[in-house]
Amino acid sequence: MLPPTIPTSFVPHLASAAPNRPGSGSVGIFSFLSYFILAIVFVLAIGVFFYGRILSSSQMTKDAQLAQAEAEINPSTVESFVRLRDRLSTGKSMLANHTAFSGFFSALGMLMPSTVRFTSMHLSIDEKGVVRFDGSGVAKSFNALATASTAFARNGRIKDAIFSDIVVSNTDNSVSFALSAALDQKLVTFSP
């Protein structure tokens, strides 16, 4: 005889009656999201493919237009434009390095008192490009010469002004002098 704890028959449970396991519904949502993302990626891939075809055809038409425009270029016109560009750049560089003393003379006229005049002037440019001014002149009085010296010191564009060979006349108290100075490059450079 069989032990009394083992049943002699049993009825299997139905599958629908089995309890739901936790998390089994999330697999369905994850699958749905995966398929949705796959569909979006597929649509985007098709869009990129067709956009590449559109760009390729657009590039071919632009290349054809460029080839036609290049064929219409007249070589003599291009040569004349190149000559014009070269002449303009040469003229620009020449004007940038051109020395024009009109700015110096204007500044000198504004700085010097009316009672001081020059009897001789010499302007020179050394090999380093420094512009030097040497001159001699006569002032009505020593005070007029001191006023000119002060004006040069305040201006700053006429540098290192040195008055020398000062001689006071016994008859009319006029003062003869010699002046040596360096000029600022901006004062003698051409500007339109």
Helix (H) or strand (E) holding 179: strand 175-183
pTM of the complete model beyond 0.85: no
Q: Tokens 């040069």 map to which residue? A: 152
**Sheet with 175-183, side-by-side order of all strands:** 116-125, 131-139, 175-183, 158-168
- For position 52, what pLDDT does the model report? 94
- State the chain's maximal CA–CA distance in angstroms: 166
Q: Confidence band (pLDDT; 50, 70, 90) for 16?
A: low
| Average pLDDT of the chain, as a whole number | 84
On whether the CB atoms of residues 137 and 122 are closer than 8 A, the answer is: no
Task: Please determine, for residue 185, whether its predicted confidence score (pLDDT) is greater than 80.
Answer: no
Fold of the 102-188 domain = Alpha-Beta Plaits (3.30.70)
- For position 40, what pLDDT does the model report? 96
E strands, 38-144, are 116-125, 131-139
- Structure tokens that stand for 40 in this block: 């979006």
* Sequence spans of domains, the chain: 27-65, 102-188
In tens, the pLDDT along 111-169 reads 888 888 899 988 888 888 788 889 999 998 888 888 888 888 888 788 888 888 888 88
Task: Please determine, for residue 50, whether its predicted confidence score (pLDDT) is greater than 60.
Answer: yes
